[in-house]
Amino acid sequence: MSKIKKLPIADIVTKALLMPWKLRKEFSSKLLIPVLIYALIALIEWLIESTYPKGQVFFPLLSLFIYGLFAITCHRIVILGSNSVPSYGFKKWSMRETKFYARMIIIFLVLAVIGNSVGFIMIFVVPDVKGPFEMELFITWLPEIMIGTIVGYFFARICLLFPAIAIDEHVDYRWAWNISNGNGWRLVVVIAILPMFTSAVLSLLNVLYGEYFVVDMLLSILAWILTIIALIIEITAISLSYLELHNGTQTGRRE
């Protein structure tokens, strides 16, 4: 039995953090169309969110769609180089995009089922404790922690499917599960560190919102820019993890 290669967490995270600057020219040109659409969606959502409640469902779904193009472009730049991506990042719809979105939807639904199932079980498992505030707070958050941990682990085990599909590898869920074997919790750390940090920063920005339109607008722009940079870093981390754990004998054919 071959020895399982351990994912170098610190190295992956460091490289992912530096990648937006290192490949700034490539990202700025190849991601231009998805970023501009993201910006337009964010602007419209910000302007009408108080008067059009239905947009709270529509705009996230539209953003999720754009995210797919964004992710495919990032994966290809990091793994194959900028020459593998057309000018401005997207030229025409292909089987690559179809497979990517199909897997994304299926995985999202499966993770939703897992999360809801864990939440339902926790209703009967977590006791109704009355005691010190800290204990009650912990018990209150315990179901959320359990759901996040379990869903995060399952996603980490299959997330390498996305960069593989983005570069046209013929792979399946079993391949993704096998290639991440022995590195599940390491991948959890890799994909969780930045979102946690980003959420903390965005929460801090939310505290600064006030009654001044210009200040709120500037804070919204800053939050949007940070979100885009964070997306690039998060996707890059998954791409680098794929490169680190990839083994030519384990992958399928490439189109």
Q: Look at residue 1 and tell me if it is in a domain.
A: no
Q: Which residues of the chain carry a pLDDT beneath 50?
A: 1, 248-253
For 1, half-sphere exposure in the C-beta direction (CA atoms, 13 angstrom radius) is: 3
Q: Look at residue 81 and tell me if it is in a domain.
A: yes
pLDDT score at 253: 47
Q: Look at residue 49 and tell me if it is in a domain.
A: yes
For 91-158, give the secondary structure using H, E and C: CCCCHHHHHHHHHHHHHHHHHHHHHHHHHHHHHHHCCCCCCCHHHHHHHHHHHHHHHHHHHHHHHHHH
Q: Look at residue 67 and tell me if it is in a domain.
A: yes
Q: Look at residue 187 and tell me if it is in a domain.
A: yes
Q: Look at residue 250 and tell me if it is in a domain.
A: no
Q: What is the pLDDT of residues 206-218, one digit of tens each?
A: 777 766 666 677 8
Q: What is the pLDDT of residues 95-152, one digit of tens each?
A: 999 999 999 999 999 999 998 888 788 777 766 656 555 555 566 667 778 888 889 9
What angle (nearest 5°) sits at the alpha carbon of residue 248, between those of residues 247 and 254? 125
pLDDT score at 217: 74
**For the chain, how many structural domains are there in total?**
1
The token pair that represents 76 in the structure block: 């290809």
What's the whole-model pTM score?
Answer: 0.85
pLDDT score at 126: 66
pLDDT score at 251: 46
What angle (nearest 5°) sits at the alpha carbon of residue 251, between those of residues 250 and 255? 160
Neighbouring residues of 142: CB distance < 8 A, sequence distance ≥ 6? 122, 126
pLDDT score at 196: 80
Q: Look at residue 214 and tell me if it is in a domain.
A: yes
**Using CA atoms, how far apart are residues 243 and 19, in angstroms rounded to an integer?**
14
Q: Look at residue 34 and tell me if it is in a domain.
A: yes
- Show the domain range for 149: 9-245
pLDDT score at 195: 81
